[in-house]
Amino acid sequence: MSKRPVQPQQPAGLIDSIQSEVAGEASPLLEFLINNARPIVACVLLFIIAIVGFGAYSHYSGKANKEAQDEFGRLAIIQDPQKRLAALEAYLSKAPEATRPAALAALAQTAFAAEQPQKAYDAWAEIAKLNPDLRVPAAHGMARALEEQGKSKEALAVYEGIVNGLPKPETLSVNSRIVWLAESVGDYKRAVVAGDAILALPDLDPADAKVWLLKVAELKRKAAQPQ
């Protein structure tokens, strides 16, 4: 009958020594966990809540934006300009940034239809601040609103405030308005300067150039007359 191999016996003193060392190293960690159990659990819970909260906020924001866009779409079918204007003003008080420029443009156009040009001016002015790339259409809108209020000189100032900073191809429409507005207020010299700027455009259509040559010549005759 075979005998089981005898397992080597560890000295009792060595085992006690190892256990003592392990217990001694682990006790500060255990003591820290025990003494700080509540703060640790609270931190973990706060971390979990933050993750869940961020996910809920993202979901809600996307949902809110979608609802805001749907609401904006419904406003466009309101036929009465006064009612549509009031609805757009209420919408803009809570509109998300994604739809704000479009809502402002809709408000500006509706304000013209509702014969409230000052509100149109304010909307176009805000559009220009939100997006400098839209400064040319915004200037046209602001100037039109001023003209409808009989403020041709102020409208002229709006155009002259942006024309110098524009690329040459974009100055045609602005200088055209400067010519007509300056002429309307009797400032023919100003109109001539804008007309000459148009004629200096390298890509000006030949047919348009002939028209502007005649117009500038007429303005120069008016400018030469005693006031």
Q: What is the pLDDT of residues 9-28, one digit of tens each?
A: 444 554 455 445 545 544 55
Residue 119's pLDDT is what? 95
- Closest alpha carbon to 179 in 224, 136, 214: 214
Please check whether residue 199 is in contact with residue 213, taking contact to mean a CB–CB distance below 8 angstroms: yes
Q: Is 49 exposed, middle or buried (0-12, 13-18, 19+ CB in 10 A)?
A: exposed
For 149-162, b where at least 16 C-beta lie within 10 A, e where not — what string? eebbebbbebbbeb
Angle between helices 135-148 and 171-184 (to 10 degrees): 20
Where does the pLDDT of residue 213 fall: very low under 50, low under 70, confident under 90, or very high at 90 and above? Answer: very high
Contact indicator for 106, 74 with CB cutoff of 8 Å = no
Please give the pLDDT value at position 174.
92
pLDDT the model gives residue 10: 46
Q: Which one is predicted more confidently, 53 or 113?
A: 113
| Total-model pTM | 0.63
C-alpha to C-alpha distance for 104 and 123, rounded to whole angstroms: 5
Q: Tell me how far CA of residue 222 lies from CA of 13, 134, 135, in angstroms.
A: 119, 35, 32
The residue type at 146: L
| pLDDT of 61 | 43
What was the pLDDT predicted at 28? 52
pLDDT above 50 for 53: no
The backbone torsions φ and ψ at residue 194, rounded to the nearest 5 degrees and listed phi first, read -65, -40
